Structure formats: structure tokens, C-alpha cells
A = this chain, B = another copy of it.
């Protein structure tokens, strides 16, 4: 048991206003230029990158937790507001490599949607608003969408050995897209 207990307790501060994590072990910045092929309007994406100097699309803050069974990995996901044409900014989305693992998302600030799907073609979505906890069950791929004007900040938790499979989403795409049209959120 001593070896298992070798990983020591720790704490980390997260701003409940803007989602910034103080001294994260990993701070991943995803720029808009890495989102080629994801949005419906590729020309609008190129124009956005050109006109706004490749803005940050989303950020992920993580403390260092072993990717081992029994641990729980946790992160802050901060998805910026914006549109590619009239399509709302979203994260790449992922299945877990260990497919049969879940993930919880607690929305801390902002508004949007979680899109979810299974390999069998089943789809679902849940709203994000401050205080909303969304459960992405085992086997459900998930992608966050920002429908608001402020960053969408979520606190995420998942089994530490889950792993991330982004590639299958690149291949399969997501069967739902979210737009703002005439000031209204439209899910297609």
C-alpha cells in the first residue's frame, strides 16, 4: 500500500470567474489554425485566421495526475466565444481511448452546449450554463460548443487511464452542428 500512497495530496487554485488555473502543470493552447477541416465553412475559417492573427480557440489547464487506474484526472477547459461563418466555436471533441469511461463537466461560466454521440449513431446534447453539470457516459464522444459572448469554462473529471481519442472524430465528424442565426441558437 505504501507505494500506492506515494502520490501525495495537493491543491490548485482555479478562478471561478475566468477559469484560469494558477501554476498548472500543463497549459495547452489550441489555436484556430489547428481547426482546419472541422467547420462547415472552410473559407470563413481561413478568413478568421487571416484577419484575427490565428486567435486562441480554446485552452486546457491541467494539474499533473498519473494516467493510472484509480486516479482521477481533472482539467479546466476554456473555450473562447466566436463564429466560423455562423457556426459557433467548438472543441475538437473526443472519445476516450478506453471507450467505456465517462467524464463529468461542471460549467463554471459562460453558456453553450455539450454535443454527444455514440459509434452506433445515437446523438444527444445538453445545455451548459453556470452550475450545470453534464454527464458524458461511457462510450459517448463529446464536444463543447460556445453559444455565448464570453468564454465557456468547464471543470472536467475522468478516470485517469481513459486516454483521448481525437482521431476518430476527425474521421467520423459530428452529426450535429450549432449556429447562431438571427440571434438564435440553431442545432442542425
> Which of A71, A114, A126 is packed against the most chain B CB atoms within 10 Å?
A71
Known pairs A15-B131, A63-B135; A72 contacts B159 (CB<8 A): yes
CA distance A140 to B1 in the complex (A): 10
Q: Indicate if the CB atoms of A104 and B157 lie closer than 8 Å.
A: yes
Q: How far is the CB of A67 from chain B (nearest CB, A)?
A: 12
Q: Indicate if the CB atoms of B70 and A72 lie closer than 8 Å.
A: no
Known pairs A4-B100, A16-B131; A140 contacts B9 (CB<8 A): yes
Q: Indicate if the CB atoms of B1 and A159 lie closer than 8 Å.
A: no
- Using Cβ atoms and an 8 Å threshold, which residues of chain B touch A103? 72
- Using Cβ atoms and an 8 Å threshold, which residues of chain B touch A160? 102
A116 within 8 Å of B (CB atoms)? yes
Closest chain B residue, CB of each to CB of A65: B135
Q: How far is the CB of A168 from chain B (nearest CB, A)?
A: 13
Q: How far is the CB of A72 from chain B (nearest CB, A)?
A: 5
Interface string of A127-162 (1 = CB under 8 A from B): 101111111111110000000000000010111100
- Using Cβ atoms and an 8 Å threshold, which residues of chain B touch A134? 9-11
